[in-house]
Structure 1
Amino acid sequence: MKKLVFALLAGVILLTACSSGGTKGSLTSSGDEGTPNSKEITVWAWDPAFNIAAMGVAKEAYSRVHSDVMINIVENAQADIVQKLNTVLNSGSTKGLPNIVLIEDYRAQSFLQAYPNSFYELTDAVKVENFADYKIDPTSVDGKQYGVPFDSGVTGMYVRTDYLEQAGYSLADMEEIDWKQYIEIGKAVIEKTGKSMLTLDPNDLGLIRMMMQSAGQWYTAEDGKTPIIADNAALKEAIELYKEMLDSGIAKVISDWSQFVSAFNHGEVASVPTGNWITPSIKAEASQSQKWAVAPLPKLAVTKGSVHASSLGGSSWYVMNVEGKEAAAEFLIKTFASDAELYQSLNTKIGVIGTLKAAASGEAYSAADEYFQGQKIVSDFAKWTAKIPTVNYGMNTYAIEDIIVVALQAYFGGKDVDTVLKDAQMQADTQIS
């Protein structure tokens, strides 16, 4: 993770057939039985400090038992992976494809439904009940499982307890609050300390995604295709809250990832509501040790069903339906799909919080983090992961967000919120099928 604003080649995806299907694997989980024909596996992933590093740990663990299997990990930017997959798959060829590819959960259905015969079915091999419930919809089609769920995008609210105390609040005051209460606390923080409560990038709708999913809603209906914008209660409340944060002065406006990280590393904000993957970036500033803690994400105040848990980002592993697919599937099954101990290493070495339920009871997950005042933050994140509402991200998350970003500018400029959402609905209905 991981800035999340990519919308490359959406038109190519949308114009491709959307049927379901695929090739089903007959896989074995025993030693030498059913040995795959190919002994070489190529993996595509992005982010050398996180996803690439995680795959490296899995490779090392697997190679200790299967030294005859060669695993080549190829780093690509996420945008490049999206472009390469679309280009090759749309051509009808499989030449140049990897055996395993990492795909962001928001994008997964675009590929699984647009290119139904290009991914290897893992229904008989991946036990979906072993993973966080919210990860299954993005990784499956019509009850058939194609992905091996990987990291959790579970969110929390990182807070500077020293700033809170100066404003007259404690960590306990941040528990079980809604976003309206959060804004009021933010007003006190900026008045007493001169620090902003959070950063906001008007071109990045991550905060709005978090708010919507906390209420079990998304930009589309349950079918994942029909845009639901004008009558979307969670979306309306989320953008109203977003504007209130800007108008109240509690937010520091930024425009890119480096400014986002710089703001909290330089002590300019009192909180960072985001995905757990930001932990290493926060801990990178050693001078702030013992000043941070993590509270549950606030919930929506008005929309019914909103909870103190959501997701931002997250990705899963997929096997391409190419030569060597059996070996690739076997590797994923023995590692990311079942090995709870592997996830302890991934957490200790890299900071990965997986979505394999069995990993949550491991030693690394229950460890206290001295940087966060001895708080067992991984245990807390694992607990919140289990509460994340399931939504259908569908095929068009980023295409719809392109429309919403423009609509927000009109709303921030003074246009009525209902009119803005109706206009966005009409545009989405016209552009997205």
Structure 2
Amino acid sequence: MKFKKIIGAVVTGIMAFSLMACGSTSSSSGTASSKGKDDKTITIWAWDETFNVKAANEAKEIYLKDHPDVNINVVSMARPDVIQKLNTGLSSGTIEGLPNIVLIEDTNSAGYLQSYPDQFKDLSSKVDKNKFMDFKLSCMTEGNKLYGVPFDSGVAVLFYRTDLLEQAGYKKEDMNNITWEKYIEIGKAVKAKTGKYMLALDPSNLGIFDTMLQSAGSWYTKEDGKTVDIANNTALKDAISIYKQFVDSGIVKLVNGSEATRAAFQKGESISVPTGCWMSSTILKSEDQKGKWAIAPIPRMGANPKSVNASNNGGAGWYVLDKVGDSDLATDFLASTFGSSNELMNQLVPDINLVSTLKSASSSENYSKPVEFYGNQEIFKDFAEWSNKIPAVNYGSQSAKIRDIFQEGVQAIVVNNADVDETLKNIQTRAEVAIAQ
């Protein structure tokens, strides 16, 4: 079976949550600079020169207009390097060489805050958390304290080719607020009438599970973010059922890795991409497909009454390391830019296709501009509207461990038709042992 061959090739290299999101493979450039005690210098670490790094540099330019005496050093490095260097510094207690500000993915932030509670600065006095969308806050707050400034939304979106959909006998209206079950039905018609796949599926990437779970306000842990919730998780069982239908129905092109996933829809081999809004910048690169794409809300799980047509996939926030120095200056920088600047958010819409989680950003001029590539659809206005409907969940600090174990269970269920309940009980036990270590 093709699925077995592909998943066997990737299971030992399971991707971290939302690996495609935020350009995790960007190359490193620049180095962290040391500074004197009295220097007004801020060093920022981020990855992806076309997205996060570019955003930091544009924030820098805005801040320097009113603070010309401040030096801001934006350091670009690969995402794994950011994680490795930050972990090494914090675990050793050696702050030399660490930045003042660092970008951290939402699914990892709780782990840092719990493991190093004294290393991150409380930003509550400078940044009003009420200005941001609720779903972004749980991973960066402890009690009444806010430790991060929310950045990009990973609002889940159904990107699709309108021309190929029409060849299968469907219209744009047929894609709005649908269930995954309806999505599969349409996918069968698409495959039968056009020979195209509905989507490309990488078995090593659990993003589709994350999206389905959060649409029902559920996660791999309970609301406390600590207690493993696998064996009796109704939403998870519903997601597994849908995923198995994807594979069994023949509507998916099975691929290995993010590059193969992108290649499938760029070449027209698959006609839709259910993922985070950040994928738009990649879709836009296929200029020969201008006017042939549209977006719709992410499908919901029809068998689950809690599931809605809104979810999240990816996203990150900006954090200040309190012990590095100049933490007040770093906090002021974030508060003045990513924490409140509609000017910056409006500028980043055309520059990096940002969907901001600052509530007021949705009223910015560029959010209402039609995008020719998407048939003049006002996609950023839609992104903002759907972002406000995303159910909030607590990712906790153990998501990575639990998801790695769960990924193996998916293989057993989908490939070997293992009993779902027994497999999930086994995953529950293994996950509990793993996080207790």
Separation (CA, whole Å) in 2 of partners of 1:259 and 1:371: 23
Aligned to 1:116: 117
Query: 1:43 aligned to 2:44?
Result: yes
Where in structure 2 are the equivalents of 1:143-222 lying within 5 Å? Answer: 143-222=144-223
Q: 1:38 to 1:141 in 2, by over 3 A?
A: farther
SS at match of 1:120: coil
Task: Say if 2:202 and 2:258, in contact at 8 Å, map to a contact too.
Answer: no
Q: CA RMSD in A?
A: 1.3
For residue 429 of structure 2, what is the amino acid of its counterpart?
A: M
- The answer for the alignment partner of 1:300 in structure 2 is 301
Question: What amino acid is the match of 2:408?
Answer: V
Residues 338-379 of structure 1, C-alpha deviations (whole Å, 9 max, x = no match) = 001110001111111110000001110111001000100000
Unmatched segments (≥5 aa) in structure 2 = 1-12, 18-36
Any conservation in 2 of the 1:37–1:327 contact (CA below 8 Å)? no
Q: Which amino acid aligns with 1:428?
A: A
The counterpart of 2:417, out of the listed 405, 409, 414, is 414
Give the SS at the match of 2:66. coil
Give distance in 2, aligned partners of 1:100 and 1:315.
Answer: 13
Cα distance per residue 1:288-331 (max 9 Å; x no partner):
00100001100011122111111100000000012111111111
Preserved contact between residue 200 and residue 270 of structure 2 (Cα < 8 Å): yes
Query: What secondary structure, in the 3-state scheme, does the structure 1 residue paired with 2:110 have?
Result: helix
Residue 380 (structure 1) aligned to one of 378, 382, 385: 382
Does the 8 Å CA contact 1:4/1:313 hold for their aligned counterparts?
Answer: no
Question: Secondary structure of the equivalent of 1:262?
Answer: helix
- In the TM superposition, what are the counterparts of 1:253-332 in structure 2 within 5 Å? 253-321=254-322, 322-332=324-334
C-alpha displacement of 1:78: 1.5
Partner of 1:68: 69
2:365 is paired with a residue of what secondary structure?
coil
2:402 is equivalent to residue 400 of structure 1: yes
CA distance in 1, matches of 2:14, 2:139: 16
**Cα separation, 2, equivalents of 1:263 and 1:38:** 50
**SS at 1:365's partner residue?**
helix
State the match for 1:344 in structure 2.
346
- Whole-Å Cα distance in 2 between the matches of residues 173 and 282 of structure 1? 21
For residues 189 and 124 of structure 2, what CA distance do their matches in structure 1 show?
52
Deviation at 1:5, TM superposition (A): 2.4
- Which residue of 418, 426, 434 corresponds with 1:431? 434
Cα deviation, 1:115-146, whole Å, max 9, x if unaligned, reads 00000111111111100000110111122100
Secondary structure at 1:229's aligned position in 2? coil
Q: Does structure 1 retain, via aligned residues, the 8 Å contact 2:348–2:354?
A: yes
Q: Is the 8 A contact 1:38 1:323 kept in 2?
A: no
Deviates more, 1:66-75 or 1:101-110: 66-75
User: Which residue in the other structure is 1:80 paired with?
Assistant: 81
Q: Partners of 1:282 and 1:291 in 2: how far apart?
A: 11
Q: Does 1:58 align with 2:51?
A: no
Tell me the amino acid that sits aligned with residue 346 of structure 1: L
Would the aligned equivalents of 2:157 and 2:277 in 1 still touch at CA under 8 Å?
Answer: yes
Runs of 5+ in structure 1 lacking a partner?
8-35
Residue pair 2:113, 2:120 contacting (<8 A) in 1 also: yes
Q: 1:307 to 1:350 in 2, by over 3 A?
A: same
Partner of 1:6: 16
Q: What SS is found at the alignment partner of 1:180?
A: helix
Shift of 1:38: 4.1
The Cα shift of 1:419 comes to: 1.2
- 1:37 deviates by 5.3
User: What is the alpha-carbon distance in structure 1 between the residues aligned to residue 113 and residue 368 of structure 2?
Assistant: 35
How many residues are paired up?
A: 403
Q: Secondary structure at the match of 1:313?
A: coil
Which whole-Å CA distance do the structure 2 matches of 1:38 and 1:224 have between them? 40
Scaled by the length of structure 1, the TM-score of the pair is 0.91
CA–CA separation in structure 1 for the residues paired with 2:126 and 2:308: 32
Q: Which residue of 2 aligns with 1:356?
A: 358
Report the residue type matching 1:274 in the other structure.
T
Secondary structure of the equivalent of 2:137?
helix
Give the TM-score normalised by the residue count of structure 2. 0.90
Give the match for residue 28 of structure 1.
none
SS at match of 1:102: strand
Q: Secondary structure at the match of 2:333?
A: helix
Matched residue SS, 1:403: helix
- Matched letter for residue 426 of structure 1: T
Aligned 8 A contact 2:103 2:319 in 1: yes
Matched-pair contact (CA < 8 Å) for 1:105–1:314? yes
* Amino acid corresponding to residue 186 of structure 1 in structure 2: G
Shift of 1:4: 9.2
SS of equivalent residue, structure 1 residue 44: strand
Moved more, 411-420 or 367-376: 411-420
Kindly indicate whether the alpha-carbon contact (under 8 Å) linking 1:113 and 1:141 is maintained by their aligned counterparts in 2: no
Q: Distance in 2 between matches of 1:38 and 1:108?
A: 29
Q: Matches of 1:71 and 1:260 in 2, distance apart? A: 37
Q: Secondary structure at the match of 2:366?
A: coil
